[in-house]
Amino acid sequence: MSTSVGTRTSTRTQTATHLSDAILGSFSSILATLGLSDAYLARHWATIENGLTMWIGEGSLDEARLEIGSPADPDAVFDVPIEYRYTGEGNIEFVTSQARLARAMAKFTSVPAGAECRVVVTHRCQHTEVTGWSETTAADSSGLSGYRLGSLASGPDASASMTYFSRRI
């Protein structure tokens, strides 16, 4: 019994690390494709990575979002909802669908040069506080058009997909 628990914890940690890497890597690729500076991500990379890994590992992260433009009137939003599996059984395979993201990038609407960006997360339940993160309100994407990009990455305990919201698609 204790071996099973240790294996599950280790696999959960590996999944959290894998998904965090895939999410941050995708956000970085998106900014490059849109011709925007990655200075925000570079400056906050460790803090964002620590939060995503912690919260995916504990199962509290609902979604991560890359918001571009003003939070009051965003130009684009990339939602990455996290889906958890609690079956106790898992295929020990880690898959990242960067090819799907690369194909979808051709459809991205341009955003104003120099647009600011930020990463915002929401939680599904009580979560551990992570240094460097603070309370905020996510941008309202209700007036934007959405395009589901499909699966971004998956592991034995959780998976991440992505939806792109913009003023026009």
- Supply the CATH number for residue 128's domain: 3.30.900.10
C-alpha to C-alpha distance for 121 and 145, rounded to whole angstroms: 20
Q: 50 by DSSP, 3-state: which? A: helix
- Is residue 58 over pLDDT 90? yes
Residue indicated by tokens 């240094």: 131
Domain span at residue 63 reads 2-166
- Give pLDDT, residue 6: 42
- Give pLDDT, residue 36: 93
C-alpha to C-alpha distance for 128 and 120, rounded to whole angstroms: 16
What one-letter code names the amino acid at 166?
S
Token pair of 88 as six digits: 């106790």
Q: How many residues does the chain have?
A: 169
Greater confidence (166 vs 7) lies with 166
Token pair of 2 as six digits: 């204790």
Greater confidence (6 vs 76) lies with 76
Average confidence (pLDDT) over 116-133: 95
- Is residue 3 over pLDDT 80? no
The count of structural domains within the chain is 1
User: For the segment 59-116, what is each residue's pLDDT rounded down to a tens digit?
Assistant: 999 999 999 999 999 999 999 999 987 655 545 455 556 666 777 777 676 788 899 9
Average confidence (pLDDT) over 137-141: 93
